[in-house]
Chain A
Amino acid sequence: MSFVRLITRGLTYHRRLHAGLLLGAVLACGILTGALLVGDSVDYSLRAIASARLGHIQYAMEWRNRFFGHALAQRLQEKDPRIRASALLSLKGMASLPPDRKQAGNQLNNVQVIGVKADFWAFAEETSFKVDLGPQEAAINEKTASALGIKPGDDLLLRITKPGTMPLDAPLSSREQEQTVSSLVTVKGVLSDAQLGRFSLATNQTTPFNVFVNFTWLQEETEKAGLANLMVVNGGVPQKDLHHVLAQSWDLEDLGLRLRTSSLDFVQLESSRIFIDEEVLRATQTIPGSISTLTYLVNSISKGDRMTPYSFVEAGAFDSILKDDEVEINMWLAAQLLATGGDTVDMAYLQLLPDNTFVERSRSFKVHGVVLTTEALNIERELAPLFPGLSQVESCTDWRIGMPMDEARLADPANELYWKQYGQTPKLFTTLKAGQEMWGNRFGDVTAVRFPASMSESEVRQTLRKEIAPEKEGLQFLPVGKMALDAVNQAIDFGGLFVGMSFFLIVAALVLLGLLYVFGLQQRTQEMGILLALGYSRNRVRALFFLEACPTAIVGALLGAFAGIAYARLLLAAIAFLWPAAVAGTAIGFHIKASTLLIGIFAATLFVLLVVLAGIWRGTRLSPHQLLTTDFATATIHPARHRRIWIFLLSTIALFCAAATIVYVWKTKPESMVEPFFSVGTFLLLAELGYYASFLGYLARRPTYRHPSLWKMILSNLARRRGRSLSVAGLTACGCFLVFAVSAMQENVALHATERSAGTGGFGIFAETTAPLMGTPEDLLKTLGTKAVPLRVRDGDDAGCLNLNHALAPRLYGVDPHQLSRLGAFVPQPGEDTLWKLLQQPLQEGVVPALAGDSDTAMWGLKKKTGVADGDVLPYHDESGKKFTVKLVGKLPMRLSVFQGSLLISEDAFTRLFPSEAGFRTFLIDTPANKAQETAERLNRDLERFGMQAAPAVSRLHEFYAVEQTYLSMFLLLGGFGLILGAGGTGIVVLRNVFERRSEIALLHALGYERSILLKILLAEHGALVLAGMLLGALAAAAAILPLILLSQTTVSPLVQAVLFAVIVISNLVSISVMVLVGLPQNPTPYLREE
Chain B
Amino acid sequence: MNSEDPVIVLKGVFKDYPGTPEPVKVLHDISLSVNSGERLAIVGPSGCGKSTLLNLMGTLDEPSSGQILFKGQDVSKQSPAGLAALRNREIGFVFQLHHLLPQCTVLENVLVPALLVRETDGFQQRAAYLLECVGLKDRLDHRPGQLSGGERQRVAVARALINRPSLLLADEPTGSLNQESAEELVDMLLHLNREEGMALVVVTHSQSVAGRMERMLEIRGGTLVPRE
User: Which residues of A are interface residues toward B (Cβ below 8 A)?
Assistant: 1-3, 5-6, 9-10, 12-14, 526-527, 529-538, 540, 623-625, 628-629
Contact = CB atoms under 8 A, between A and B. Distances in A.
Interface in B25-78: 51, 55, 58, 60-61
A625 B87 CA distance: 13
Interface of B: 51, 55, 58, 60-61, 80-81, 84-89, 91, 93, 95, 99-104, 107-108, 111-116, 124, 159, 163
Most chain A CB within 10 A, of B80, B88, B101, is at: B101
27 contacts: A1-B107, A1-B111, A1-B124, A2-B115, A6-B104, A6-B108, A6-B112, A9-B104, A13-B102, A526-B99, A527-B101, A529-B99, A530-B99, A530-B101, A530-B112, A532-B60, A533-B58, A534-B88, A534-B93, A534-B159, A535-B84, A535-B88, A536-B88, A537-B80, A537-B85, A540-B116, A628-B95
Contacts of A534: 87-88, 93, 112-113, 159
A5 B108 contact: yes
A442 B223 CA distance: 108
Contacts of A624: 60
Nearest to A529: B99
B158 to A, nearest CB: 13
Given A1-B112, A5-B108, A9-B104, A537 B81 contact: yes
B88 A628 contact: no
Contacts of A527: 101
At the interface, is chain A mostly helix, strand, loop or mixed?
helix
A150 B5 CA distance: 108
B113 A535 contact: yes
B115 A538 contact: no
Contacts of A532: 60, 84
Given A9-B103, A628-B95, A533 B60 contact: yes
Given A533-B93, A536-B116, A625-B60, A9 B87 contact: no
Contact of A1 (B60, B84, B91, B115): B115
Given A13-B103, A531-B112, A623 B85 contact: no
B103 A12 contact: yes
Most chain B CB within 10 A, of A5, A535, A537, is at: A535
Contacts of A537: 80-81, 84-85
Nearest to B114: A1
Given A536-B88, A624-B60, A14 B112 contact: no
B116 A1 contact: no
A534 B109 CA distance: 11
B108 A1 contact: yes
B103 A14 contact: yes
Given A623-B60, A624-B60, A535 B116 contact: yes
Contacts of A6: 104, 108, 112, 115
Contacts of B60: 532-533, 623-625, 628
Contact of B103 (A1, A10, A628): A10
Contacts of A625: 55, 60-61
B99 A3 contact: no
Contacts of B85: 535, 537
B129 to A, nearest CB: 15
B93 to A, nearest CB: 5
Contacts of A530: 99-101, 112
B89 A535 contact: yes
A534 B88 CA distance: 5
B115 A3 contact: yes
Contacts of A2: 115
Nearest to A3: B115
B97 to A, nearest CB: 8
Contacts of B80: 537-538
Given A1-B107, A1-B111, A527-B101, A535 B159 contact: no
Contacts of A1: 107-108, 111-112, 114-115, 124
Nearest to A534: B113
A920 to B, nearest CB: 82
Most chain B CB within 10 A, of A6, A534, A536, A538, is at: A534
